[in-house]
Amino acid sequence: MDKTEKKRIHAAVKGDSGAFAALYAAYAEQLYRFALCYMRNPADAEDAVQDAVLQAFRNVSSLRNEDSFKSWLFKILANVCKKKLMQNKFEYADETVQDDPDLCNQESPAFDHADRMTVRDAVGSLPPDERQIVLLSVVAGYSSAEIAAMLNMNPATVRSVKSRSLARLRTMLSEE
């Protein structure tokens, strides 16, 4: 985290809405990509990000550790996504998913659109708790210790779930 980001976080905690907006702008794409992979529907992903950011804005003054702003924000988004899926009894039907070339984006030229869609579908087939851990790790780039802190889990449990889930994904994708 650079000094500018630290200053913005500190200012946001003190009530500076402009600083919070600048932080949101810095993380908006990552938040949307995470929510899109989780929710598998652009409109639902946008709603989840909007709800999470609003919740974060309302509660930013209660942030205890300013160095964990990003993980705090992603934890809120993960919880919002999970809650929305549970409330809506969300069904992963292909007709609700729009082809989005940025979905679960992998920046490799060898990773084409069809591959992204296949990976997206495989990740979407994981149970919600496993999907959350995989997305926080692979999409958001958090370590097992950071994910464990966000989800109030043991880091060894996170590593185990992640390993098992990634093995399941490898099996699913090798069958394709």
And the tokens for 148?
């464990």
Burial of 126 (0-12, 13-18, 19+ CB in 10 A): buried
Per-residue pLDDT of the chain (176 residues; tens, 9 = 90+): 789 999 999 999 999 999 999 999 999 998 998 888 888 788 999 999 999 999 999 999 999 888 889 889 988 998 898 888 877 754 443 333 444 444 454 444 444 556 667 777 888 888 888 888 888 888 777 889 888 887 778 999 999 999 999 999 888 888 76
User: Domain of 106?
Assistant: 3-175
By C-alpha distance, which of 113, 76, 126, 117 is closest to 94? 117
Domain count, the chain: 1
- Helix 144-151 × helix 155-175 angle, to 10°: 110
pTM over 0.75: no
Tell me the CATH number at 95.
1.20.140.160
